[in-house]
Structure 1
């Protein structure tokens, strides 16, 4: 049925009046003008394709294991396919290409994503975001010359963006080179905070064992730093309960004063954890924060919190991490490509580049 609708819409572009020419340069446009009724037909097909993309994007909602959260790959293939079908009908809609490319990033198919980002540049060679994505993902692939070529173009277009990307690269490299640890490396002092990242609740609204282990690590550190604030971040509801609230209840039951606890009950991803919590850290003028999460997750968490704090402050705030060893730390000494991909992907989202920018499929 969908193919028939697309064929009808595409066919309407053939039985048209004379081609439209640009007054400015007399070059023919990508497609000819159509009568209003025909245009509406095409619009309806595009809208339906985007609605199908949204449906695929949202189902299943999410899967999570050891702190790594992502859409199911099969769903991302469906999202990509629907976006590209819509792009066939609307060849000026580079937002569709951008969204399709990022769907492939979620699907861990970086080569395909690079192809789609490069296709954006054939339409808009000065597109700053496309060059930014390509600089990052070519670097991820180890193609340093290609990455540098895009960085030079970015510098010519926007020196601030080039500087920010260099800072992201430097932050990721530093975090990846820092050894994981199970104990705090320093006392938090008078302006310190503990930030504990949530983990998906069980369907009945109870806490997963992984989240309880993070809380046990938090409790130990909270007792060693009695003046530190404690930020508990996680807002994905299950059975009308959120991670932030349940974590707070658990710590209070184990002797931690409620006056020290800041609940963040809205974040639905690590990006949200960083963005929402950064304002709590700014409000209390925190100078150093220790992030607690699973060992396979803390490096991504630290990177995102550092990037989020660039906008909110406090100025010169520093971060480190304490890992609950969901896996032996020796196995995680060298970050996997999967982990590094997740770090770069979410670093760009935290920085402000939206992954999906095709209404109604819009998501940071």
Structure 2
């Protein structure tokens, strides 16, 4: 989007007398791409803020906390918010189990799961209520590995919820649907100062995961724009 706005479009407008038809098509495509992505980002961000404001602790039998990376072996603010939400939910049912999931990433010496477990125990969660899943390298692995883990442990009537950041809700829901899991999702708050980076990053991840749908929407808008110009 920034490349389109500040490089491609100014150059095309400047030299539009050369190959006018091609320039027109490129400019139109760039404008529509910027419009669709910007509108989608605004809607996405608005939905995240709404979910964050309306979210409340939920009683469950099993809580799954998705990893979010470590910073020099320590739990960063985004991951801390997820763990705090898990602790709040756990207090509604102290017999619940908390699964912390995440392997060793980016050259860290400690797995995400182990760092998360340490954080929870220092905040009053008993060690025997925590299960570590230390193999996952991304969100898909987080959920798939927990699914395998719970197939041996969980009873059919147990309520299982997944705790992740508000900006991560939609991707998590999509992965749960692909895995055919009916687990509920509870969002944790994302610190306001971290929202621009985290929201844009996850929004780009959603576009990547659904690029076929995004391209279909782009072609529809291009066709409509061409018809309106005639």
* Same fold, judged at TM 0.5 (above): yes
Structure with bigger RCO (C-alpha 8 Å, 6+ apart): 2
Pairwise CA distance, 1:219: 1.3
Query: 2:100 matched to 1:232?
Result: yes
> Which of 66, 88, 92 is the aligned partner of 1:220?
88
Per-residue CA distance 1:261-319 (angstroms, 9 max, x = gap): 111111111111111111123222253322222211122123213432x3xx7xxx432
Tell me by how many angstroms 1:236 deviates: 2.8
Residue 296 of structure 1 aligns to a residue whose secondary structure is helix
> Structure 2 regions of 5+ residues with no counterpart?
1-28, 30-36, 38-46, 212-230
Q: Which of these residues, 194, 197, 208, is aligned with residue 63 of structure 2?
A: 194
Q: In the alignment, does 2:191 pair up with 1:319?
A: no
Three-state SS of the structure 2 residue aligned to 1:180 is helix
Question: Structure 1 residues 247 and 186, CA, compared in 2 at 3 Å: closer, same or farther?
Answer: closer
> Which of 281, 297, 305 in structure 1 is aligned with 2:150?
281
> Which residue number corresponds to residue 149 of structure 1?
none
* Pairs within 5 Å for 1:1-364: 180-181=51-52, 183-184=55-56, 186-188=58-60, 192-202=61-71, 204-237=72-105, 238-285=107-154, 287-308=158-179, 310=180, 317-327=182-192, 338=204, 340-344=206-210
Distance 1:233 1:344 in 2: 25
Partners in 2 of 1:337 and 1:212 — Cα distance?
22
- Any idea what SS the aligned residue of 1:292 has? strand
Q: Which has the higher helix share?
A: 2
Instruction: State the distance in 1 between where 2:188 and 2:81 align.
Output: 10
CA contact (8 A) 1:198 1:244 kept: yes
- Tell me, what secondary structure is at the counterpart of 2:171? helix
TM norm structure 1:
0.38
CA contact (8 A) 1:290 1:322 kept: no
Q: In the alignment, is the contact (CA less than 8 A) between 2:68 and 2:79 conserved in 1?
A: yes
CA contact (8 A) 1:302 1:320 kept: yes
Q: Distance in 1 between matches of 2:92 and 2:209?
A: 30
**Are the aligned partners of 1:296 and 1:326 in contact in 2 as well (CA < 8 Å)?**
no
Partners of 1:210 and 1:318 in 2: how far apart? 22
**Deviation per CA, 1:41-79, whole angstroms, max 9, x where unpaired?**
xxxxxxxxxxxxxxxxxxxxxxxxxxxxxxxxxxxxxxx
Counterpart in the other structure of 1:3: none
Q: Using a 3 Å threshold, how does the CA distance of structure 1 residues 344 and 323 change in structure 2: closer, same or farther?
A: farther
For the 8 Å contact 2:81–2:188, the answer to whether it is kept is: no
CA contact (8 A) 2:77 2:191 kept: no
Q: Secondary structure at the match of 1:274?
A: helix
Which ranges of structure 1 fall in alignment gaps of 5 or more residues? 1-110, 112-140, 142-175, 346-364
Number of aligned positions between the proteins? 159
1:344 positional shift? 3.8
Equivalent pair of 1:232/1:263 in contact (CA under 8 Å):
yes
Counterpart-to-counterpart distance in 1, 2:159 and 2:109: 33
Secondary structure in 1 matching 2:51:
coil
- How much is the aligned-residue C-alpha RMSD, in angstroms? 3.4
Larger Cα-atom Rg: 1
Would you say the 8 A contact 1:278–1:305 is kept in 2?
no
